[in-house]
Amino acid sequence: MIAVALLAISWAAQQPSPPAPPAEQPAAAAQPAAPTSGPEQPLPFSHKHHAGTLGLPCETCHVQSRSGETLSIPQAATCMKCHQSIATDKPAIQKLAETAKSNSTIRWTRIYELPSFVTFSHKTHLAHGNTCQECHGAVATRDRLFKETDLSMKWCVDCHTTKKASTDCNTCHTLQQ
């Protein structure tokens, strides 16, 4: 009887410990980031107003390159196509007009930027029915943008797997020969 008890104790000691219960997260960590948590930009810009309220499609301001592989981050000349006559009394639009007049670059703070070893084609993704929101989040509901999606390799591979797109390395990476 004692031998059986010792054997049971010995066996139990060799078993892995059950995982510890997850640490309780503060309430704020469980909530999505607030729409104003993104970086301050050199000029105020509300995607909520432009894409949401006004219903402007993304490509109105984010113009495709000649190849279509990339989309631009708008500069003052693009904005001035509308703002030469809209909201011209607002200080931010006046600053925008001065930037356009001096042909200066607006140094927007990037929200998403892929590593240089990743090849990404907006043209290919849009042609296959992907939407801007799938990668960039619900920008049409945001006054200030923040990073809403991971865009890590795992995130992209999961999306490719779900959509039955290629997960071969050379789909997104240029392989050295």
pLDDT in tens, 73-85: 999 999 999 999 9
pLDDT in tens, 115-171: 999 999 999 999 999 999 999 999 999 999 999 998 999 999 999 999 999 999 999
d(CA 50, CA 60): 10
Q: Name the residue ranges covered by the structural domains of the chain.
A: 35-73+108-172
pLDDT at 22 over 70: no
More confident residue, 45 or 16: 45
Is residue 69 within a helix (H) or strand (E), and if so which, with residue range?
none
Q: What confidence score (pLDDT) does residue 37 get? A: 73
d(CA 110, CA 71): 13
Chain centroid to CA 28: 21
* Three-class DSSP labels, 8-40: HHHHHHHCCCCCCCCCCCCHHHHCCCCCCCCCC
